[in-house]
Structure 1
Amino acid sequence: MISCGVDEAGRGPMFGPLVVGAVYCDDDSVLKRIGVKDSKKLSPGQRERMYDEISDSVMHWCVVPISAEDIDSKMKTQSLNMIELDLFVEAVSAYGADTVYADCPDVNTERFGRIMESRLDGRKVVAAHKADALYPVVSAASIMAKVTRDRMLDDLRKEFDVDIGSGYPSDAVTAGFIEKWIKDNGCAPKHTRTSWEPVRKMLSARKTTSLDDW
């Protein structure tokens, strides 16, 4: 029996991509030996080590990133949960699995699982909150997604040649970077989720300041 775990990294940030990871295996004992757990409970060094071990040990794995710009575009007609579900389905469809374990973003796990099953030709889907702490195959997927997103953020730091922080609204470095960029340029920097409320407030404040100056 082949199991697939699917999870995301970067759902909440106002800067940078969201990345979905999927891992497929027929025996999760190898994942237990690696020591996988929820990626948020691991240090960057531990995640990097496990990323390499997972990629060398499992049957198949993949990641599906979506840019901030594409998130903004899709948010005009879809909820973030449905965007994430679409990405889950794309990742899970890459390789065959008998059962899919998904870290559920929806308050209604049964509904989320039912919709996923309908999109996956009836393959069994187990959708659960905190699935990355319950199922090793989901823990592994969370690690692949998190490391991939962290590497993408490293590329963005090189692109801007400045510290951009973690991308989260609560990160003062990220907030300061975006706010200064908006102040200096009148628009948000590339890779910013302009549909996020904190960014909308920054853009609105910049517009108000410009009108006052005029």
Structure 2
Amino acid sequence: MVKVAGVDEAGRGPAIGPLVVGGVLFDEETAKALPSMGVKDSKKLSPKRRESLELEIMDLADRWAFFDLQPRTIDKVVNRGVVYRKLNYLEAMAMAKVIRDLDPHRAIVDPADTVIDRFVGDIKRVIPPGIEVHGESHADDIYPVVSAASILAKVRRDRFVAELREEHGDFGSGYSSDRKTVSFLESWFEDRDDCPPFMRCSWATIKRIKAAQAR
């Protein structure tokens, strides 16, 4: 029986919180039930609907796996500045780890890199040679198994973010385009210089705010 895994990420862009890579393994026949359950790209679902689908997906799946990339890890790789070995490569390695954990016959991924062959090649170099890997842009909107992975990753990241809000206050969405997030960051660095472990201080927005506060 063919086992297929969908793999996707949540939280690539925010300045706050982890990037979560999630994968979920199904029997190929069983996966055909996903569309009728309402499984689709997590961005098209409400938080409440994602949470209810999380349980349904886990009931249907053979197993699932996650790899959480914390801000300090992201910062270390981004600040290192090695060409083709920045965030895209880090995400490829996280996806490879999830694929190894799931051990499918075939894995479908939503690549972070616009050069899909490079991203898939990075994954294939570090997983067992018998696993087929297919990468396609917007795979989370095309393949239900990837949609399912996007839902699990998004729900997991949302829980991390809720814990951070509980501890540090409301920082908005965490995206640099969110005025509430920017205000939170500006306030945070008014009397602090060190980067806390829940922020990605390699992000341009935080660098700009810190530089302005230092003047």
Interval of TM-score (by shorter of Structure 1 and Structure 2): over 0.9
Match of 2:114 in 1: 107
Alignment match of 2:31 (pick from 6, 11, 28): 28
Mapped partners of 2:58, 2:173: distance in 1? 25
RMSD: 1.2
Q: Tell me, yes or no, if the aligned pair for 2:25 and 2:61 is still in contact at 8 Å.
A: yes
| Aligned positions, number | 207
Q: Tell me, yes or no, if the aligned pair for 1:28 and 1:137 is still in contact at 8 Å.
A: yes
Q: Tell me, yes or no, if the aligned pair for 2:7 and 2:150 is still in contact at 8 Å.
A: yes
Match of 2:102 in 1: 95
Mapped partners of 1:164, 1:66: distance in 2? 20
Match of 2:148 in 1: 140
Residue type of the alignment partner of 1:144: L
- TM-score, normalization: structure 1? 0.93
Match of 1:184 in 2: 191
Q: Tell me, yes or no, if the aligned pair for 1:2 and 1:24 is still in contact at 8 Å.
A: yes
Residue type of the alignment partner of 1:98: H
Q: Tell me, yes or no, if the aligned pair for 1:3 and 1:24 is still in contact at 8 Å.
A: yes
Mapped partners of 1:94, 1:124: distance in 2? 15
Q: Could you list the structure 1 runs, at least 4 aligned residues long, displaced by more than 3 angstroms after superposition.
A: 186-190
Q: For 1:34-59, what per-residue CA distance to the aligned partner results, in whole angstroms no more than 9, with x for missing partners? A: 21111011111111111111111110
> How far 1:188 sits from its partner (Å)?
4.0
What's the % identity of the aligned pairs?
A: 39
- Of residues 46-55 and 184-193 in structure 1, the stretch that sits farther from structure 2 once superposed is 184-193
Query: After superposition, where does 1:49-60 map in structure 2 within 5 Å?
Result: 49-60=52-63
Match of 2:5 in 1: 4
1:80 aligns with 2:87: yes
Instruction: Give the SS at the match of 2:202.
Output: coil
Q: For 1:143-185, what per-residue CA distance to the aligned partner results, in whole angstroms no more than 9, with x for missing partners? A: 000000000000001111x101111111111111111010132
Q: For 1:119-143, what per-residue CA distance to the aligned partner results, in whole angstroms no more than 9, with x for missing partners? A: 2122111001000011100000000
Match of 2:41 in 1: 38
Mapped partners of 1:186, 1:71: distance in 2? 19
Q: Tell me, yes or no, if the aligned pair for 2:24 and 2:102 is still in contact at 8 Å.
A: no
> How far 1:118 sits from its partner (Å)?
2.2
Q: Tell me, yes or no, if the aligned pair for 1:181 and 1:188 is still in contact at 8 Å.
A: no
Mapped partners of 2:125, 2:97: distance in 1? 13
> How far 1:8 sits from its partner (Å)?
0.3
- TM-score, normalization: structure 2? 0.92
- Of residues 138-147 and 73-82 in structure 1, the stretch that sits farther from structure 2 once superposed is 73-82
> How far 1:113 sits from its partner (Å)?
1.6
Residue type of the alignment partner of 1:54: I
